[in-house]
């Protein structure tokens, strides 16, 4: 009995004593064991079947390959066309390149090329494309696509890498031959792809009439491809059919990979993919154009790596216009996915072996690379591996492109010479497409200039910074008259493009972009003509002097009374680009060009520009809610695009007038009357503290914006009052009392009841040393009241109580000692004696300490409203105000150097040969002459006619900025301890001098007489008083300054005249002994000298009886009076 039969005794034994649950569990375990056994058996059988199938397939493949080798391995003659269709290609296409091997693959490609070159129709493989049997034609088309796909795989190494792995079993002796085969394979594959898709390479077209069923002798056929063969070749990659579109995409992907690694085989493939687009007659939205744009033109740095031939194939004007039209059309069609949407920019070049781009490439949007490649192809600039190229050739090529290829006789463009976008609108299309790409990249966050800096360093996007590019694209001064038809459309597109570029540029990149716009010939003039006509605004205005009130209408653009709100939205890019570019040009435009040559605008046009820009900026701030228009920020720079052009023009006018004063004040003529000083000061203080004070800003129609952006629109006197209010608010916030003798001191006690924060003891013979030892250590407490005590030469305290006069004398004495040119820390200009730090003042610690002390004392004088003898040089004042210094500021430092640099700019000869300059300057340092390089390796870089403008401005920048940077910073650091830099920016350079030093060197005697007071028995009709004013009128300017210094402690009157002198100038009567007939010229007159109390601005004048005595005593007191111990 078999062992598997039922044994009742065994069951009885096993089940004896088992419970029901145990029985069920044992049964389940038995079932699971049997199921596992069956599963194992099935697995074994499947493995055996798979192994047998694999072995059978291997046998079949070996049989196929053996049969193929027997027929084709050694043959050198091409098979017949039908044999190729039925026997040569099917095994290879069925097995694939990895199974066939490089040797067979190379032979297949070679035999096919030989077949395509055959003139006999029964041998030429392409003859089947126009066979009379439709089934044969369809079979050929399908097989030809598969052959092309196989060759494309070889080109991009998708197949050859597998072939290499498959052939590792070859004997070592054959390794060299295998390597040679693999190296030859891509070139043969490229040749095959080109021939399959180019009907002109076929020979079967000689029998096209026969193949087409028309009969005839092949020798009678016309040369060139016939319509049937051309259509058959085009059908292989016809984007209009699904299969052809897929093949076209494969070709595009292969082209992108070949181009990314600079493969020479890319040229042939580029012609295939572009011809497929052109031959299909596609419009801008065609599938083929979409594929090439999406897969090829987005390859990073494509045009830097491809050959000239590849660039020529891709640079067809017809194709580029179609690609640009596609970009623009799909951007405007919201219902369709954009050609670049969802495309990850991970290209083969990102992992290219040469490491040109490293791993950064994938982090940038395809829009960036499409923009760079389209511009390079349209111009040939840095395209085709030719480096930078010729600007003249690139400009001419772009000019032809913008005209749609007319008068095109260049071989590079012969395939699209008659195409294009219908003429001159190609320029507008290119500019509009560029704008779309930049906008898309910015929206995706990929247009970050900082992250693109490495890419741009390799040459990408540099075309946008070239002057010739704008000249050729926009028509410019050198364009033909035929280009003007679409000038308005093109100009609008260019302005929108650069407006977007500037919105995302860093300060450095913005300067480079603006340089292209600013220096393009006639570009700014054309731009202003368009802008003034569109706004509209007066294009030019005559120089008519008008009062401030009358000028409100004459110097305000009537169509811009609400500022930016009145500017049409579509005109904002044009206005913004014009203002920024012209402001950039003003930095390098010297006064001779601006005022004498009047380039690029006449002075009447300058006034028209100033009126428009000034009205827009000022009225925007005065319009409720207008500040929102001025909050546009440039990404990455942290700087607001605010009234830059208006400030540049105002700076030019403040140095040398080209417009009347009323022009700048007109838009805000009534603002000062409507806005309380305290409200304006609080708004500015809140802005400077970066604290939002809603009520204060809302209460002031001006707010902080007008005071920060265009303070020139408000009268100087009004801004002085705001400054004094800012000082008072700061003093209250810090808890300090007013300085005795200062402008804010209590008139009742002149600040004497204020507790001083420190007592300063000064020895007259060691004045500067004592000031250096005591004042800097006060820190911010310098803003409080300082009590001053002078020590005489004998070591005792000088007579006098400091009610402000001693402090004013301290300020005057310390500034005079520190600014003294003989000390070697400061120098004075030879023309006007204006002061500035010496070039080597910042090279020593002692020099920096003195410079900082001078800044501190200057700031203290401004803080307390005390006039000081500190006439600062124009360029130095601009540095303190944070204004840019240009070559036109150089005369205030060194007029001779300025003249020399201008001569270099105007030199007509060969600068490099005749002047023999390099990029270095020589400067005295500690008594020795040291050379400073203006650029890296500047000693070995010559100055040429091309770079002389940069050289001249580099020299000016060195002397005005770089060489004095440390000293300027030290002075500004000391100045800011009392006077906040934001407060000082309320004023221009000449106004800062007025605020610090007073009105002018000489002063009006009648103004002082009108506001004078009398005490001690004098009145305005007293005889001694009349003699005093007669004596003052007879004084020269130096004596009058000495009188004012003797009486008030300052040689100059207050900024707004003597009515603002506090306390008022007072003449106090001092009774002296004199003879009874002194008034008649007999006997002794009063012998006592006049004395003064500078704390109270009081002149103590004895009652002289004779005019001669009055004049004599006054001259002696003014000449000899010093200190508080004059008897």
> What sign has the CA pseudo-torsion 736, 739, 745, 751?
positive
Residue 937: C-alpha distances to residues 316, 934, 942, 965, 1004 (Å): 43, 9, 10, 22, 58
Cβ atoms of residues 222 and 206 within 8 Å: no
Per-residue buried b or exposed e for 559-579, using 16+ beta carbons within 10 Å of the residue's own CB: ebebbbbbbeeeebbbbbbbb
Catalytic residues: 1095
What local confidence, expressed as pLDDT, does residue 6 receive? 46
Do the beta carbons of residue 760 and residue 778 sit within 8 Å?
A: no
Quickly list DSSP for 553-616.
HHTS-GGGTTGGGGS-GGGHHHHHHHHHHHHHHHTT--HIIIIII--SS-HHHHHHHHHHHHHH
Residue 54, token pair as written in the block: 């694999």
pLDDT averaged over 10-residue windows placed end to end, the chain, 1127 residues: 47 61 90 92 90 87 88 88 92 86 88 89 88 90 92 72 46 66 83 86 56 44 62 85 88 86 83 79 65 86 82 85 84 65 46 37 64 85 60 82 57 40 65 82 62 60 82 60 58 85 78 89 90 90 57 76 88 90 90 91 94 90 63 36 78 89 87 84 82 40 75 92 94 88 75 84 90 93 91 76 78 92 90 88 92 96 87 93 91 92 93 94 81 92 93 94 94 94 92 82 78 87 88 85 80 72 83 57 68 80 83 82 45
CA dihedral sign, ordered 569, 571, 574, 576: negative
Is the distance from CB of 616 to CB of 563 less than 8 angstroms? yes
Instruction: List Cα–Cα distances, 68 to 65, 71, 72, 238, 410, in angstroms.
Output: 5, 5, 6, 32, 49
Lookup result for tokens 């904002």: 572
Q: Do β-strands 1091-1093 and 928-933 pair in parallel, antiparallel, or remain unpaired? A: unpaired
CA–CA distance, 270 with 254 (Å, rounded to integer): 10
Helices (H), 296-354: 302-305, 308-314, 317-332
Classified as helix, coil or strand, 982 is helix
**Token pair recorded at residue 904:** 């270099």
Region of 914 on the Ramachandran plot (φ > 0 left; ψ -120 to 50 alpha; else beta): alpha
- Are 1054 and 997 in contact by the 8 Å Cβ rule? The answer is no
Residue identified by tokens 């009081």 is: 1098
In the 3-class helix/strand/coil scheme, how is 836-867 assigned residue by residue?
EECCCHHHCHHHHHHHHHHHHHHHHHHHHCCC
- The Cα 688–Cα 684 span in angstroms is 6
DSSP 1011-1022: T-EEETT--TT-
| Both structure tokens of 363 | 């982090």
Neighbouring C-beta atoms of residue 876, cutoff 10 Å = 25
- Asked if 399 and 472 count as a contact pair (C-beta separation under 8 A), the reply is yes
Sort residue 450 into left (φ over 0), alpha (ψ -120 to 50) or beta. Answer: alpha
Sign for the pseudo-dihedral over CA of 650, 654, 659, 664: positive
Task: Return the pLDDT at 565.
Answer: 87
Whether the ω angle into residue 74 lies within 30 degrees of 0, i.e. cis, is no
Give the per-residue SS3 of 767-794.
Answer: HHHHHHHHCHHHHHHHHCCEEEEEECCC
Instruction: Give the number of other CB atoms < 10 A from CB of residue 213.
Output: 9
d(CA 523, CA 1013): 63
Burial of 998 (0-12, 13-18, 19+ CB in 10 A): buried
Report the half-sphere exposure of 561 (CA within 13 A, side-chain side): 6
Question: Which pLDDT does position 774 carry in this prediction?
Answer: 95
How far apart CA 867 and CA 742 sit, in angstroms, is 10
Where helices occur in 643-745 by DSSP H, the ranges are 644-655, 661-665, 671-674, 677-688, 694-699, 703-709, 716-734
859 CB-near residues (< 8 Å, 6+ apart): 782, 974, 975, 976, 977, 978, 979
Q: Is 1115 helix (H, G, I), strand (E, B) or coil?
A: helix
| Token reading at 247 | 């093949």
Q: Which two tokens stand for residue 344?
A: 């990850």
Q: Which residues contact 550 (CB under 8 A, 6 or more apart)?
A: 662
Helix or strand run (H / E) with residue 396: helix 391-402
* Cα–Cα nearest to 863, from 758, 756, 726, 993: 726
The secondary structure element, H or E, covering residue 374 is helix 366-379
Q: Is 41 helix (H, G, I), strand (E, B) or coil?
A: helix
The residues, ordered by sequence, that sit 6+ positions from 193 with a Cβ below 8 Å of its Cβ are 148, 151, 152, 155, 251, 268, 269, 272
Note the pLDDT of residue 425: 63
Tokens of 551: 């000028």
DSSP codes, 478-505: TS-GGGGGGHHHHHHHHHHHHHHHHHT-
Cα end-to-end span (Å), the chain: 155
The Cα 757–Cα 746 span in angstroms is 17
Cβ distance 112 to 124 under 8 Å?
no
Element (H, E) at 826: strand 826-828
3-state secondary structure 1035-1083: CCHHHHHHHHHHHHCCCCCCCCCHHHCCCCCEEEEECCCCCCCHHHCCC
- Residue 1101, beta-bridge partner list: 1069
Query: Quick check: 795 and 788 in contact, CB under 8 A?
Result: no
How many Å apart are CA 965 and CA 1122, to the nearest integer?
Answer: 37
Q: Distance between CA atoms of 235 and 254, rounded to whole angstroms?
A: 19
């Amino acid at each position: 009995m078999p062992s598997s039969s039922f044994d009742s005794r065994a069951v009885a034994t096993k089940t004896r004593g088992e419970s029901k649950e145990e029985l069920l569990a044992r049964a389940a375990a038995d079932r699971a064991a049997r199921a596992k056994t069956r599963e194992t058996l099935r697995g074994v059988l499947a493995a055996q079947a798979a192994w047998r199938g694999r072995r059978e397939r291997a046998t079949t493949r070996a049989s196929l390959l053996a049969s193929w080798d027997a027929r084709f391995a050694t043959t050198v003659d091409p098979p017949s066309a039908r044999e190729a269709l039925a026997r040569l290609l099917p095994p290879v296409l069925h097995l694939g390149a990895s199974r066939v091997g490089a040797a067979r693959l190379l032979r297949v490609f070679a035999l096919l090329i030989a077949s395509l070159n055959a003139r006999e129709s029964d041998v030429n493989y392409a003859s089947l494309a126009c066979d009379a049997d439709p089934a044969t034609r369809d079979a050929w088309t399908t097989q030809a696509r598969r052959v092309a796909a196989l060759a494309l795989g070889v080109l991009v190494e998708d197949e050859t890498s597998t072939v290499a792995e498959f052939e590792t079993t070859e004997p070592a002796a054959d390794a060299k031959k295998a390597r040679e085969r693999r190296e030859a394979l891509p070139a043969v594959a490229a040749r095959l792809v080109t021939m399959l898709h180019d009907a002109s390479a076929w020979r079967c077209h000689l029998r096209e009439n026969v193949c087409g069923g028309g009969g005839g002798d092949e020798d009678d056929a016309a040369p060139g491809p016939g319509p049937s063969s051309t259509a058959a070749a085009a059908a292989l990659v016809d984007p209009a059919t699904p299969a052809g579109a897929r093949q076209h995409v494969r070709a595009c992907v292969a082209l992108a990979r070949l181009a990314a690694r600079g493969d020479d085989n890319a040229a042939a493939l580029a012609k295939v993919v572009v011809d497929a687009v052109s031959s299909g007659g596609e419009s801008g939205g065609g599938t083929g154009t979409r594929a090439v744009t999406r897969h090829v033109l987005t390859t990073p740095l494509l045009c830097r790596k491809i050959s000239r031939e590849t660039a020529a194939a891709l640079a067809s004007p017809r194709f580029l216009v179609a690609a640009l039209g596609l970009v623009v059309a799909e951007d405007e069609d919201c219902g369709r996915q954009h050609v670049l949407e969802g495309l990850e920019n991970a290209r083969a070049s990102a992992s290219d072996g040469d490491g040109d781009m490293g791993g950064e490439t994938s982090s940038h949007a395809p829009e960036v690379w499409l923009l760079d490649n389209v511009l390079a192809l349209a111009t040939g600039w840095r395209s085709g591996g030719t480096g930078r190229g010729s600007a003249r050739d690139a400009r001419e090529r772009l000019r032809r492109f913008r005209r749609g290829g007319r008068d095109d006789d260049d071989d590079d463009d012969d395939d699209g010479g008659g195409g294009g976008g219908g003429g001159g609108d190609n320029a507008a299309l290119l500019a509009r497409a560029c704008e779309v790409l930049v906008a898309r990249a910015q929206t995706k966050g990929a247009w970050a200039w900082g992250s693109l800096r490495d890419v741009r360093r390799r040459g990408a996007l540099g075309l946008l910074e070239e002057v010739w590019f704008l000249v050729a694209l926009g028509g410019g001064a050198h364009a033909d008259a035929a280009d003007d038809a679409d000038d308005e459309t093109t100009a609008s597109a260019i302005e929108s493009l650069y407006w977007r570029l500037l919105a995302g540029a860093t300060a450095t990149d913005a300067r480079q972009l603006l340089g292209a716009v600013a220096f393009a010939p006639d570009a700014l003039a054309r731009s202003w003509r368009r802008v003034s006509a569109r706004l509209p605004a007066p294009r030019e205005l005559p120089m008519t002097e008008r009062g401030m009130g009358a000028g409100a209408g004459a110097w305000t653009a009537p169509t811009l009374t609400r500022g930016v709100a009145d500017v049409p939205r579509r005109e904002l890019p044009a206005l913004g680009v014009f203002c920024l570019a012209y402001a950039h040009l003003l930095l390098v435009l010297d006064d001779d060009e601006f005022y004498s040559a009047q380039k690029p605008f006449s002075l009447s046009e300058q006034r028209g520009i100033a009126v428009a820009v000034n009205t827009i900026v000022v009225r925007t701030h005065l319009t409720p809610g207008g500040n929102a228009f001025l909050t546009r920020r440039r990404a990455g720079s942290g700087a607001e695009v605010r009234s830059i052009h208006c400030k540049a023009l105002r700076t030019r006018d403040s140095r040398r007038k080209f417009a009347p004063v009323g022009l700048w004040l007109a838009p805000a003529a009534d603002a000062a009357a409507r806005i309380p000083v305290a409200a304006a000061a609080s708004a500015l203080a809140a802005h400077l503290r970066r604290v939002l004070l809603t009520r204060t800003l809302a209460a002031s129609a001006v707010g902080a914006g007008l005071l920060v952006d265009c303070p020139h629109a408000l009268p100087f006197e009004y801004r002085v009052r705001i400054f004094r209010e800012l000082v008072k608010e700061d003093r209250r916030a810090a808890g300090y009392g007013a300085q005795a003798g200062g402008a804010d001191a209590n008139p009742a006690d002149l600040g004497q009841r204020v507790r001083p924060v420190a007592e300063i003891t000064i020895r007259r013979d060691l004045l500067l040393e004592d000031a250096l030892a005591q004042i800097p250590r006060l820190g911010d407490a310098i803003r409080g009241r300082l009590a001053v005590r002078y020590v005489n030469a004998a070591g005792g305290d000088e007579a006098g109580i400091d009610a402000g006069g001693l402090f004013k004398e301290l300020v005057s004495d310390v500034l005079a000692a520190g600014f003294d040119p003989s000390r070697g820390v400061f120098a004075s200009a030879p023309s006007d004696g204006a002061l500035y730090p010496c070039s080597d003042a910042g090279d020593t610690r002692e020099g920096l300490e003195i410079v900082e002390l001078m800044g501190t004392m200057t700031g203290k004088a401004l803080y307390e409203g005390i006039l000081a003898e500190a006439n600062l040089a124009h360029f130095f004042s601009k540095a303190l105000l944070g204004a840019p210094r240009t070559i036109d500021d150089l005369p205030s430092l060194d007029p001779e150097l300025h003249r020399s640099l201008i001569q270099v700019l105007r030199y007509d000869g060969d600068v490099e040969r005749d002047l023999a300059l390099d990029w270095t300057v020589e400067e005295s340092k500690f008594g020795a002459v040291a050379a400073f390089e203006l650029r890296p390796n500047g000693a070995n870089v010559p100055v040429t006619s091309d770079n002389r403008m940069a050289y001249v401005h580099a020299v000016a920048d060195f002397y005005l900025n770089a060489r004095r940077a440390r000293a300027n910073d030290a002075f500004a650091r000391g100045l800011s301890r009392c006077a906040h830099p934001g407060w000082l920016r309320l004023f221009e350079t000449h106004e800062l001098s007025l605020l610090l030093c007073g009105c002018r060197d000489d002063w009006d005697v009648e103004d002082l007489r009108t506001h004078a007071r009398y005490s001690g028995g004098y009145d305005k009709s007293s005889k001694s008083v009349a003699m005093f004013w007669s004596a003052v009128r007879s004084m020269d300017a130096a004596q009058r300054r000495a009188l004012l210094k003797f009486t008030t402690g300052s040689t100059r009157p207050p900024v707004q005249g003597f009515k603002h002198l506090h306390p008022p100038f007072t003449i106090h009567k001092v009774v002296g002994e004199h003879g009874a007939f002194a008034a008649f010229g007999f006997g002794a007159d009063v012998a006592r000298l006049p004395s003064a109390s500078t704390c109270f601005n009081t002149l103590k004048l004895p009652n002289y009886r004779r005019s001669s005595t009055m004049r004599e005593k006054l001259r002696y007191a003014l000449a000899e009076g010093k200190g508080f111990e004059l008897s």
